[in-house]
Structure 1
Amino acid sequence: MPDDLDTLERRIDLLRTRVRAAVRDRDLALARELRGELRKSERAWDLRVSSPPEPETAGQRGRTGPPVRERVHAALTLLQVPAAGRLVVGVHEAFFAEPLKGSQLSTLRRDEERTFRRSPYGRPHYVCAALTDRLTPARGLLAVSTWPQERRVVGPLSPRVDFLRSTMRVATRVGELDEPSEKAWRLLARMARNVPGAGGGFERPEPAVVVRAAEAELAVHLVADTRDRAELAGRAGRQLDEAAKLFGATTLSEIARKAACA
Protein backbone atom coordinates (compact mmCIF):
# COMPACT_ATOMS: atom_id res chain seq x y z
CA MET A 1 0.00 0.00 0.00
CA PRO A 2 2.61 2.68 0.86
CA ASP A 3 4.20 2.58 -2.62
CA ASP A 4 0.80 2.97 -4.29
CA LEU A 5 -0.10 5.84 -1.99
CA ASP A 6 3.19 7.62 -2.60
CA THR A 7 2.66 7.37 -6.37
CA LEU A 8 -0.88 8.72 -6.10
CA GLU A 9 0.22 11.56 -3.81
CA ARG A 10 2.95 12.61 -6.21
CA ARG A 11 0.43 12.57 -9.07
CA ILE A 12 -2.06 14.63 -7.03
CA ASP A 13 0.60 17.23 -6.20
CA LEU A 14 1.68 17.41 -9.86
CA LEU A 15 -1.91 17.80 -11.06
CA ARG A 16 -2.57 20.60 -8.56
CA THR A 17 0.51 22.43 -9.84
CA ARG A 18 -0.65 21.99 -13.44
CA VAL A 19 -4.18 23.18 -12.60
CA ARG A 20 -2.80 26.35 -11.03
CA ALA A 21 -0.60 26.96 -14.08
CA ALA A 22 -3.53 26.45 -16.46
CA VAL A 23 -5.71 28.86 -14.48
CA ARG A 24 -2.89 31.40 -14.38
CA ASP A 25 -2.52 31.08 -18.17
CA ARG A 26 -6.33 31.34 -18.57
CA ASP A 27 -6.46 28.00 -20.39
CA LEU A 28 -9.86 27.09 -18.98
CA ALA A 29 -10.37 24.01 -21.14
CA LEU A 30 -7.08 22.50 -19.93
CA ALA A 31 -7.88 23.51 -16.35
CA ARG A 32 -11.23 21.65 -16.50
CA GLU A 33 -9.56 18.57 -17.94
CA LEU A 34 -6.86 18.60 -15.29
CA ARG A 35 -9.38 19.12 -12.48
CA GLY A 36 -11.23 16.03 -13.69
CA GLU A 37 -8.01 14.01 -13.54
CA LEU A 38 -7.28 15.48 -10.11
CA ARG A 39 -10.69 14.43 -8.75
CA LYS A 40 -10.18 10.89 -10.07
CA SER A 41 -6.76 10.66 -8.43
CA GLU A 42 -8.10 12.01 -5.12
CA ARG A 43 -10.96 9.48 -5.18
CA ALA A 44 -8.47 6.69 -5.89
CA TRP A 45 -6.38 7.87 -2.93
CA ASP A 46 -9.45 7.95 -0.67
CA LEU A 47 -10.47 4.45 -1.69
CA ARG A 48 -6.94 3.13 -1.23
CA VAL A 49 -6.53 4.38 2.32
CA SER A 50 -10.12 3.44 3.25
CA SER A 51 -9.65 -0.19 2.22
CA PRO A 52 -9.53 -2.67 5.12
CA PRO A 53 -6.04 -3.98 5.93
CA GLU A 54 -5.11 -7.32 4.40
CA PRO A 55 -5.54 -10.37 6.64
CA GLU A 56 -2.62 -10.96 8.94
CA THR A 57 -0.21 -13.68 7.89
CA ALA A 58 2.17 -15.69 10.01
CA GLY A 59 5.02 -13.34 9.14
CA GLN A 60 3.01 -10.27 10.13
CA ARG A 61 2.00 -11.19 13.66
CA GLY A 62 2.17 -8.31 16.09
CA ARG A 63 1.54 -5.64 13.43
CA THR A 64 -1.25 -3.23 14.29
CA GLY A 65 -1.74 -1.44 10.97
CA PRO A 66 -0.05 1.65 9.52
CA PRO A 67 2.20 3.74 11.78
CA VAL A 68 0.65 6.72 13.55
CA ARG A 69 2.38 9.15 11.17
CA GLU A 70 0.69 7.47 8.20
CA ARG A 71 -2.71 7.59 9.89
CA VAL A 72 -2.27 11.30 10.59
CA HIS A 73 -1.06 11.83 7.04
CA ALA A 74 -4.16 10.08 5.69
CA ALA A 75 -6.50 12.33 7.67
CA LEU A 76 -4.61 15.49 6.70
CA THR A 77 -4.58 14.49 3.05
CA LEU A 78 -8.34 14.12 3.15
CA LEU A 79 -8.69 17.59 4.74
CA GLN A 80 -6.03 19.27 2.57
CA VAL A 81 -5.51 22.04 5.16
CA PRO A 82 -3.59 22.37 8.45
CA ALA A 83 -5.61 20.90 11.28
CA ALA A 84 -5.55 20.49 15.04
CA GLY A 85 -5.11 17.06 16.55
CA ARG A 86 -8.75 16.82 17.64
CA LEU A 87 -9.97 17.26 14.06
CA VAL A 88 -7.34 14.86 12.73
CA VAL A 89 -8.53 12.19 15.17
CA GLY A 90 -12.19 12.91 14.36
CA VAL A 91 -11.60 12.58 10.63
CA HIS A 92 -9.61 9.39 11.04
CA GLU A 93 -12.31 7.83 13.22
CA ALA A 94 -14.98 8.84 10.71
CA PHE A 95 -13.37 7.57 7.52
CA PHE A 96 -10.58 5.09 8.24
CA ALA A 97 -10.45 1.63 9.73
CA GLU A 98 -7.48 1.81 12.11
CA PRO A 99 -7.83 3.51 15.52
CA LEU A 100 -6.11 6.80 16.30
CA LYS A 101 -5.94 8.51 19.69
CA GLY A 102 -5.09 12.08 20.52
CA SER A 103 -2.37 10.95 22.93
CA GLN A 104 -0.54 9.32 20.00
CA LEU A 105 -0.05 12.74 18.40
CA SER A 106 1.66 14.39 21.35
CA THR A 107 5.26 13.86 20.17
CA LEU A 108 4.67 13.15 16.49
CA ARG A 109 5.75 16.51 15.09
CA ARG A 110 8.94 16.57 17.18
CA ASP A 111 9.74 13.00 16.10
CA GLU A 112 9.23 13.96 12.46
CA GLU A 113 11.49 16.99 12.83
CA ARG A 114 14.27 14.92 14.39
CA THR A 115 13.98 12.41 11.55
CA PHE A 116 14.10 15.16 8.93
CA ARG A 117 17.15 16.82 10.47
CA ARG A 118 18.99 13.48 10.55
CA SER A 119 18.17 12.71 6.92
CA PRO A 120 16.53 15.59 5.04
CA TYR A 121 13.89 14.43 2.56
CA GLY A 122 14.67 10.81 3.31
CA ARG A 123 10.94 10.10 3.27
CA PRO A 124 8.35 10.95 0.62
CA HIS A 125 6.51 13.14 3.13
CA TYR A 126 6.57 14.34 6.73
CA VAL A 127 3.90 15.45 9.17
CA CYS A 128 5.08 18.98 9.89
CA ALA A 129 3.87 22.24 11.44
CA ALA A 130 1.81 25.08 10.10
CA LEU A 131 3.68 28.38 10.46
CA THR A 132 2.40 31.58 12.07
CA ASP A 133 2.91 35.13 10.79
CA ARG A 134 6.14 35.09 12.85
CA LEU A 135 7.23 31.96 10.97
CA THR A 136 7.19 29.97 14.20
CA PRO A 137 5.24 26.71 14.62
CA ALA A 138 1.50 27.29 15.01
CA ARG A 139 0.48 25.68 18.28
CA GLY A 140 -1.22 22.34 17.69
CA LEU A 141 -1.66 22.69 13.91
CA LEU A 142 -0.32 19.83 11.79
CA ALA A 143 0.37 19.96 8.05
CA VAL A 144 2.00 17.85 5.32
CA SER A 145 5.46 18.62 4.00
CA THR A 146 4.52 18.10 0.33
CA TRP A 147 1.90 20.85 0.40
CA PRO A 148 2.87 24.22 -1.12
CA GLN A 149 4.29 26.67 1.42
CA GLU A 150 1.22 28.91 0.95
CA ARG A 151 -0.94 26.17 2.42
CA ARG A 152 1.41 25.59 5.36
CA VAL A 153 1.30 29.17 6.68
CA VAL A 154 -1.61 30.76 8.53
CA GLY A 155 -2.62 34.41 8.41
CA PRO A 156 -5.40 36.25 10.27
CA LEU A 157 -8.20 34.77 8.14
CA SER A 158 -6.65 31.33 7.65
CA PRO A 159 -8.33 29.54 10.58
CA ARG A 160 -11.78 30.35 9.19
CA VAL A 161 -10.77 29.66 5.59
CA ASP A 162 -9.26 26.32 6.54
CA PHE A 163 -12.31 25.39 8.59
CA LEU A 164 -14.57 26.09 5.61
CA ARG A 165 -12.32 24.11 3.29
CA SER A 166 -12.12 21.16 5.67
CA THR A 167 -15.91 21.22 6.07
CA MET A 168 -16.27 21.04 2.30
CA ARG A 169 -13.86 18.11 2.13
CA VAL A 170 -15.67 16.21 4.86
CA ALA A 171 -19.06 16.89 3.27
CA THR A 172 -17.79 15.80 -0.14
CA ARG A 173 -16.37 12.59 1.29
CA VAL A 174 -19.61 11.80 3.15
CA GLY A 175 -21.55 12.40 -0.07
CA GLU A 176 -19.33 9.98 -2.00
CA LEU A 177 -19.81 7.07 0.40
CA ASP A 178 -22.66 4.60 -0.04
CA GLU A 179 -23.02 4.11 3.71
CA PRO A 180 -21.16 6.73 5.78
CA SER A 181 -20.52 5.71 9.37
CA GLU A 182 -22.38 7.32 12.25
CA LYS A 183 -19.12 8.96 13.27
CA ALA A 184 -18.86 10.51 9.81
CA TRP A 185 -22.40 11.91 10.06
CA ARG A 186 -21.74 13.28 13.55
CA LEU A 187 -18.52 14.93 12.41
CA LEU A 188 -20.27 16.55 9.46
CA ALA A 189 -23.15 17.74 11.66
CA ARG A 190 -20.74 19.35 14.16
CA MET A 191 -18.92 21.16 11.40
CA ALA A 192 -22.08 22.22 9.59
CA ARG A 193 -23.45 23.89 12.71
CA ASN A 194 -20.65 26.44 12.39
CA VAL A 195 -21.43 27.33 8.76
CA PRO A 196 -24.40 29.67 8.18
CA GLY A 197 -27.01 28.03 5.98
CA ALA A 198 -25.46 24.55 6.15
CA GLY A 199 -27.95 22.94 8.53
CA GLY A 200 -26.49 20.61 11.09
CA GLY A 201 -29.36 20.66 13.58
CA PHE A 202 -30.98 17.49 14.88
CA GLU A 203 -31.29 16.00 11.39
CA ARG A 204 -28.45 14.84 9.22
CA PRO A 205 -27.14 17.69 7.07
CA GLU A 206 -27.27 17.33 3.31
CA PRO A 207 -23.65 17.16 2.10
CA ALA A 208 -24.31 19.17 -1.07
CA VAL A 209 -26.01 21.92 0.94
CA VAL A 210 -23.05 22.05 3.34
CA VAL A 211 -20.62 22.40 0.45
CA ARG A 212 -22.60 25.24 -1.13
CA ALA A 213 -22.94 27.11 2.16
CA ALA A 214 -19.21 26.76 2.91
CA GLU A 215 -18.30 27.86 -0.62
CA ALA A 216 -20.47 30.98 -0.27
CA GLU A 217 -18.68 32.12 2.88
CA LEU A 218 -15.29 31.06 1.57
CA ALA A 219 -15.68 33.45 -1.36
CA VAL A 220 -15.88 36.35 1.10
CA HIS A 221 -12.50 35.62 2.70
CA LEU A 222 -10.50 33.88 -0.01
CA VAL A 223 -8.87 36.81 -1.83
CA ALA A 224 -7.53 38.44 1.33
CA ASP A 225 -6.39 35.14 2.82
CA THR A 226 -4.63 34.13 -0.40
CA ARG A 227 -2.80 37.47 -0.44
CA ASP A 228 -1.74 37.15 3.22
CA ARG A 229 -0.53 33.59 2.76
CA ALA A 230 1.45 34.44 -0.36
CA GLU A 231 3.25 37.19 1.57
CA LEU A 232 4.02 34.84 4.46
CA ALA A 233 5.17 32.08 2.12
CA GLY A 234 7.50 34.54 0.41
CA ARG A 235 9.01 35.52 3.74
CA ALA A 236 9.43 31.89 4.71
CA GLY A 237 11.24 31.17 1.44
CA ARG A 238 13.64 34.06 1.97
CA GLN A 239 14.28 33.75 5.70
CA LEU A 240 14.11 30.06 6.64
CA ASP A 241 16.28 27.05 5.98
CA GLU A 242 14.77 23.81 4.71
CA ALA A 243 13.98 22.37 8.14
CA ALA A 244 12.45 25.62 9.43
CA LYS A 245 10.25 25.89 6.33
CA LEU A 246 8.61 22.65 7.47
CA PHE A 247 8.78 22.90 11.26
CA GLY A 248 9.11 26.62 11.92
CA ALA A 249 11.82 28.84 13.34
CA THR A 250 12.54 28.26 17.01
CA THR A 251 12.92 31.95 17.88
CA LEU A 252 12.49 35.35 16.27
CA SER A 253 16.22 35.96 16.67
CA GLU A 254 16.87 32.93 14.48
CA ILE A 255 14.76 34.49 11.73
CA ALA A 256 16.51 37.84 12.09
CA ARG A 257 19.94 36.21 11.96
CA LYS A 258 19.15 34.25 8.81
CA ALA A 259 17.56 37.31 7.18
CA ALA A 260 20.73 39.32 7.89
CA CYS A 261 22.88 36.62 6.29
CA ALA A 262 20.69 36.33 3.20
Structure 2
Amino acid sequence: MHGHLDALEARMQQLQRDMRQAHLNHDSARVRALSGELKRTQNAYNALFGSDDAPEATPPQPRPADEPDGAGLPAREQVHQVLTLLTVPAAPKLLNQVHEAFFSGPLNTARLAAVRRDEERSFRSSPNARAYYICSALTADLLAPARALLALSTWPLEQRVVGPLTHRVHFLTSALRLAEAAAARTDDALQREPIRRLLLHYNRNIPGCPTQGPLDLDALRHSAAAELAIHADDDADARTEAARRAQQLADVERLFGNTLRNVTRLRRTS
Protein backbone atom coordinates (compact mmCIF):
# COMPACT_ATOMS: atom_id res chain seq x y z
CA MET A 1 0.00 0.00 0.00
CA HIS A 2 2.76 2.43 0.90
CA GLY A 3 4.30 2.08 -2.54
CA HIS A 4 0.99 2.98 -4.20
CA LEU A 5 0.55 5.97 -1.89
CA ASP A 6 4.06 7.24 -2.65
CA ALA A 7 3.45 6.97 -6.37
CA LEU A 8 0.08 8.73 -6.18
CA GLU A 9 1.48 11.51 -3.99
CA ALA A 10 4.36 12.05 -6.42
CA ARG A 11 1.90 12.14 -9.33
CA MET A 12 -0.33 14.72 -7.61
CA GLN A 13 2.66 16.95 -6.91
CA GLN A 14 3.77 16.70 -10.56
CA LEU A 15 0.27 17.50 -11.78
CA GLN A 16 0.13 20.57 -9.54
CA ARG A 17 3.46 21.77 -10.92
CA ASP A 18 2.25 21.18 -14.49
CA MET A 19 -0.97 23.06 -13.77
CA ARG A 20 0.95 26.01 -12.39
CA GLN A 21 3.09 26.15 -15.52
CA ALA A 22 0.06 25.86 -17.78
CA HIS A 23 -1.59 28.68 -15.84
CA LEU A 24 1.50 30.87 -16.28
CA ASN A 25 1.35 30.10 -20.01
CA HIS A 26 -2.36 31.10 -20.08
CA ASP A 27 -3.21 27.61 -21.42
CA SER A 28 -6.65 27.22 -19.88
CA ALA A 29 -7.44 24.05 -21.86
CA ARG A 30 -4.40 22.28 -20.42
CA VAL A 31 -5.26 23.54 -16.93
CA ARG A 32 -8.72 21.95 -17.24
CA ALA A 33 -7.29 18.68 -18.54
CA LEU A 34 -4.71 18.49 -15.76
CA SER A 35 -7.37 19.39 -13.21
CA GLY A 36 -9.45 16.41 -14.27
CA GLU A 37 -6.48 14.07 -13.99
CA LEU A 38 -5.60 15.53 -10.59
CA LYS A 39 -9.13 14.86 -9.32
CA ARG A 40 -8.99 11.28 -10.58
CA THR A 41 -5.62 10.75 -8.93
CA GLN A 42 -6.92 12.24 -5.68
CA ASN A 43 -9.92 9.90 -5.78
CA ALA A 44 -7.60 6.93 -6.24
CA TYR A 45 -5.48 8.17 -3.33
CA ASN A 46 -8.54 8.54 -1.08
CA ALA A 47 -9.80 5.10 -2.06
CA LEU A 48 -6.73 3.49 -0.48
CA PHE A 49 -7.78 4.91 2.89
CA GLY A 50 -11.52 4.34 2.64
CA SER A 51 -14.12 7.08 2.65
CA ASP A 52 -14.19 7.55 6.42
CA ASP A 53 -10.55 8.39 7.02
CA ALA A 54 -9.48 9.76 3.65
CA PRO A 55 -7.13 12.79 3.73
CA GLU A 56 -8.49 16.16 2.84
CA ALA A 57 -8.88 16.59 -0.90
CA THR A 58 -6.23 18.50 -2.82
CA PRO A 59 -7.36 22.10 -3.40
CA PRO A 60 -8.54 22.87 -6.94
CA GLN A 61 -6.42 24.47 -9.65
CA PRO A 62 -5.69 28.21 -9.92
CA ARG A 63 -8.15 30.15 -12.03
CA PRO A 64 -7.09 32.20 -15.06
CA ALA A 65 -6.60 35.86 -14.16
CA ASP A 66 -9.70 37.01 -16.04
CA GLU A 67 -12.11 34.58 -14.35
CA PRO A 68 -14.11 35.31 -11.18
CA ASP A 69 -12.43 34.69 -7.85
CA GLY A 70 -12.52 31.16 -6.51
CA ALA A 71 -10.49 28.54 -4.72
CA GLY A 72 -6.90 28.29 -5.92
CA LEU A 73 -3.67 26.61 -5.01
CA PRO A 74 -2.73 26.09 -1.36
CA ALA A 75 -1.28 29.19 0.27
CA ARG A 76 2.28 27.84 0.27
CA GLU A 77 2.07 27.19 -3.48
CA GLN A 78 0.78 30.70 -4.08
CA VAL A 79 3.63 32.18 -2.07
CA HIS A 80 6.07 30.00 -3.99
CA GLN A 81 4.73 31.38 -7.27
CA VAL A 82 5.23 34.98 -6.20
CA LEU A 83 8.66 34.50 -4.64
CA THR A 84 9.86 32.64 -7.73
CA LEU A 85 8.79 35.60 -9.84
CA LEU A 86 10.34 38.22 -7.54
CA THR A 87 13.57 36.30 -6.69
CA VAL A 88 13.82 38.29 -3.42
CA PRO A 89 12.19 37.93 0.03
CA ALA A 90 8.87 39.71 0.36
CA ALA A 91 6.36 40.81 2.98
CA PRO A 92 2.69 39.75 2.94
CA LYS A 93 1.47 43.04 1.43
CA LEU A 94 3.74 42.70 -1.61
CA LEU A 95 3.02 38.99 -1.95
CA ASN A 96 -0.68 39.80 -2.07
CA GLN A 97 -0.26 42.63 -4.59
CA VAL A 98 1.88 40.57 -6.95
CA HIS A 99 -0.37 37.52 -6.72
CA GLU A 100 -3.43 39.62 -7.47
CA ALA A 101 -1.70 41.31 -10.40
CA PHE A 102 0.07 38.40 -12.08
CA PHE A 103 -1.63 35.23 -10.87
CA SER A 104 -5.13 34.30 -9.76
CA GLY A 105 -6.35 37.02 -7.44
CA PRO A 106 -5.51 38.19 -3.91
CA LEU A 107 -3.87 36.00 -1.29
CA ASN A 108 -5.35 35.25 2.09
CA THR A 109 -2.62 37.17 3.93
CA ALA A 110 -4.02 36.12 7.30
CA ARG A 111 -2.84 32.59 6.47
CA LEU A 112 0.78 33.51 5.78
CA ALA A 113 2.00 33.56 9.38
CA ALA A 114 0.47 30.12 9.87
CA VAL A 115 2.10 28.88 6.66
CA ARG A 116 5.52 29.91 7.89
CA ARG A 117 4.94 28.22 11.27
CA ASP A 118 3.68 25.07 9.56
CA GLU A 119 6.75 25.00 7.34
CA GLU A 120 9.11 25.18 10.33
CA ARG A 121 7.14 22.50 12.16
CA SER A 122 7.31 20.27 9.10
CA PHE A 123 11.05 20.78 8.70
CA ARG A 124 11.72 20.03 12.36
CA SER A 125 9.69 16.82 12.24
CA SER A 126 11.11 15.61 8.91
CA PRO A 127 14.05 17.71 7.66
CA ASN A 128 14.32 18.23 3.90
CA ALA A 129 11.33 16.00 3.17
CA ARG A 130 9.78 18.66 0.93
CA ALA A 131 11.14 20.00 -2.33
CA TYR A 132 11.09 23.50 -0.85
CA TYR A 133 10.04 25.34 2.29
CA ILE A 134 8.60 28.81 2.79
CA CYS A 135 11.16 30.11 5.25
CA SER A 136 12.42 33.36 6.76
CA ALA A 137 14.75 36.00 5.46
CA LEU A 138 17.59 36.50 7.97
CA THR A 139 18.90 39.75 9.38
CA ALA A 140 22.57 40.31 8.56
CA ASP A 141 23.54 41.32 12.10
CA LEU A 142 21.85 38.73 14.32
CA LEU A 143 20.88 36.12 11.71
CA ALA A 144 17.43 36.27 13.28
CA PRO A 145 14.18 36.06 11.29
CA ALA A 146 13.64 39.34 9.42
CA ARG A 147 10.26 40.69 10.43
CA ALA A 148 7.48 39.51 8.07
CA LEU A 149 9.85 38.70 5.18
CA LEU A 150 9.31 35.30 3.58
CA ALA A 151 11.82 33.52 1.35
CA LEU A 152 12.40 30.16 -0.31
CA SER A 153 14.64 27.49 1.17
CA THR A 154 16.01 26.68 -2.27
CA TRP A 155 17.69 30.09 -2.50
CA PRO A 156 21.32 30.39 -1.40
CA LEU A 157 21.89 32.01 1.99
CA GLU A 158 23.16 35.22 0.40
CA GLN A 159 19.80 35.63 -1.31
CA ARG A 160 17.90 35.29 1.97
CA VAL A 161 20.01 37.66 4.10
CA VAL A 162 18.85 41.25 4.64
CA GLY A 163 21.50 43.91 5.29
CA PRO A 164 21.39 47.71 5.61
CA LEU A 165 21.02 48.29 1.87
CA THR A 166 19.03 45.19 1.04
CA HIS A 167 15.53 46.61 1.34
CA ARG A 168 16.31 49.13 -1.40
CA VAL A 169 18.05 46.51 -3.50
CA HIS A 170 15.00 44.24 -3.12
CA PHE A 171 12.70 47.08 -4.15
CA LEU A 172 14.71 47.76 -7.30
CA THR A 173 15.05 44.06 -8.10
CA SER A 174 11.29 43.60 -7.72
CA ALA A 175 10.69 46.54 -10.05
CA LEU A 176 12.89 44.94 -12.70
CA ARG A 177 11.32 41.50 -12.35
CA LEU A 178 7.73 42.78 -12.45
CA ALA A 179 8.38 45.11 -15.38
CA GLU A 180 9.94 42.21 -17.28
CA ALA A 181 6.99 39.96 -16.40
CA ALA A 182 4.53 42.59 -17.64
CA ALA A 183 6.48 43.09 -20.87
CA ALA A 184 6.55 39.33 -21.49
CA ARG A 185 2.77 38.90 -21.31
CA THR A 186 0.92 38.28 -24.54
CA ASP A 187 -1.99 40.52 -23.49
CA ASP A 188 -1.77 44.25 -22.82
CA ALA A 189 -0.64 43.93 -19.23
CA LEU A 190 -0.89 47.62 -18.46
CA GLN A 191 -4.61 47.54 -19.22
CA ARG A 192 -5.07 45.31 -16.17
CA GLU A 193 -5.58 47.61 -13.21
CA PRO A 194 -3.77 45.49 -10.56
CA ILE A 195 -0.63 45.31 -12.75
CA ARG A 196 -0.73 48.98 -13.69
CA ARG A 197 -1.32 50.08 -10.10
CA LEU A 198 1.57 47.97 -8.81
CA LEU A 199 4.03 49.16 -11.44
CA LEU A 200 3.02 52.79 -10.94
CA HIS A 201 4.00 52.42 -7.28
CA TYR A 202 7.51 51.44 -8.35
CA ASN A 203 7.59 54.12 -11.03
CA ARG A 204 6.81 56.86 -8.48
CA ASN A 205 9.55 55.71 -6.11
CA ILE A 206 12.53 55.30 -8.44
CA PRO A 207 14.44 58.43 -9.52
CA GLY A 208 14.60 58.95 -13.25
CA CYS A 209 11.26 57.35 -14.07
CA PRO A 210 9.00 59.68 -16.07
CA THR A 211 5.97 60.73 -14.07
CA GLN A 212 4.04 62.24 -16.99
CA GLY A 213 2.34 60.31 -19.76
CA PRO A 214 1.71 56.58 -20.04
CA LEU A 215 3.70 54.15 -17.93
CA ASP A 216 6.90 53.29 -19.81
CA LEU A 217 8.17 49.80 -18.94
CA ASP A 218 11.51 50.32 -20.69
CA ALA A 219 12.12 53.54 -18.75
CA LEU A 220 11.17 51.84 -15.49
CA ARG A 221 13.60 49.00 -16.12
CA HIS A 222 16.39 51.36 -17.15
CA SER A 223 15.98 53.57 -14.06
CA ALA A 224 15.75 50.62 -11.68
CA ALA A 225 18.84 48.99 -13.19
CA ALA A 226 20.81 52.25 -13.01
CA GLU A 227 20.14 52.71 -9.29
CA LEU A 228 20.62 49.02 -8.57
CA ALA A 229 24.14 49.24 -10.00
CA ILE A 230 24.98 51.86 -7.36
CA HIS A 231 24.01 49.68 -4.38
CA ALA A 232 24.45 46.10 -5.58
CA ASP A 233 28.14 45.53 -4.80
CA ASP A 234 28.09 46.96 -1.27
CA ASP A 235 24.90 45.09 -0.47
CA ALA A 236 26.31 41.84 -1.85
CA ASP A 237 29.45 42.19 0.27
CA ALA A 238 27.42 42.63 3.47
CA ARG A 239 25.15 39.69 2.67
CA THR A 240 28.01 37.41 1.70
CA GLU A 241 29.77 38.06 5.00
CA ALA A 242 26.56 37.39 6.93
CA ALA A 243 25.95 34.18 4.97
CA ARG A 244 29.43 33.01 5.90
CA ARG A 245 28.63 33.47 9.60
CA ALA A 246 25.29 31.73 9.12
CA GLN A 247 27.11 28.53 8.20
CA GLN A 248 27.66 28.08 11.95
CA LEU A 249 23.92 27.72 12.53
CA ALA A 250 22.01 24.47 12.64
CA ASP A 251 20.07 23.55 9.50
CA VAL A 252 16.72 24.66 10.91
CA GLU A 253 18.18 28.00 12.04
CA ARG A 254 19.66 28.67 8.62
CA LEU A 255 16.11 28.44 7.26
CA PHE A 256 14.01 29.95 10.02
CA GLY A 257 16.44 32.16 11.90
CA ASN A 258 18.80 32.11 14.83
CA THR A 259 17.18 31.58 18.22
CA LEU A 260 19.54 34.28 19.55
CA ARG A 261 21.70 31.86 21.48
CA ASN A 262 25.37 32.75 21.24
CA VAL A 263 24.58 35.93 19.31
CA THR A 264 27.77 37.64 20.42
CA ARG A 265 29.88 34.71 19.28
CA LEU A 266 28.18 34.61 15.89
CA ARG A 267 28.67 38.33 15.35
CA ARG A 268 32.33 38.34 16.33
CA THR A 269 33.59 35.11 14.80
CA SER A 270 35.62 35.84 11.69
CA contact 1:82–1:142 (8 Å) conserved in 2: yes
TM-score (structure 2 length as normaliser): 0.73
> Counterpart amino acid of 1:102?
T
The aligned residue for residue 88 of structure 2 is 81
Which of 179, 186, 194 does residue 197 from structure 2 map onto? 186
Residue 151 (structure 2) aligns with: 143
Aligned to 1:155: 163
Q: Find out whether 1:196 has 2:207 as its counterpart.
A: yes
RMSD: 2.8
- Name the CA distance, whole Å, in 1 between partners of 2:263 and 2:166: 22
Distance 1:224 1:50, change over 3 A: farther
Whether the aligned pair in 1 keeps the contact of 2:75 and 2:108 (CA below 8 Å) is no
- Matched with 1:217 is 227
Q: How does 1:24-103 map to 2 (within 5 A)?
A: 48=24, 52=28, 53-54=31-32, 57=36, 63=60, 64-103=71-110
Q: Which stretches in structure 2 are left out of the alignment for 5+ residues? A: 1-11, 43-56, 61-70
Gapped regions of structure 1 (runs ≥ 5): 8-43
Alignment map for 1:121-140 (pairs within 5 Å): 121-133=128-140, 134-140=142-148
Deviation at 1:255, TM superposition (A): 4.5
CA–CA separation in structure 2 for the residues paired with 1:256 and 1:6: 43
Q: How many residues align?
A: 221
- Out of 221, 229, 252, the position equivalent to 1:243 is 252
2:32 partner amino acid: E
Based on CA coordinates, which of the two structures has the bigger radius of gyration? Answer: 2
Q: Determine helix, strand or coil for the equivalent of 2:32.
A: coil
Match of 2:66 in 1: none
Deviation at 1:54, TM superposition (A): 2.2
For 1:171 and 1:72, the matched residues in 2 are separated by: 19
SS of aligned partner of 2:129:
coil
1-side partners of 2:119 and 2:136: how far apart? 10
Shift of 1:159: 0.3
Give the whole-Å Cα distance in 1 for the aligned partners of 2:128 and 2:233. 32
Structure 2 CA distance, aligned partners of 1:258 and 1:127? 24
Corresponding residue number in structure 1 for 2:242? 232
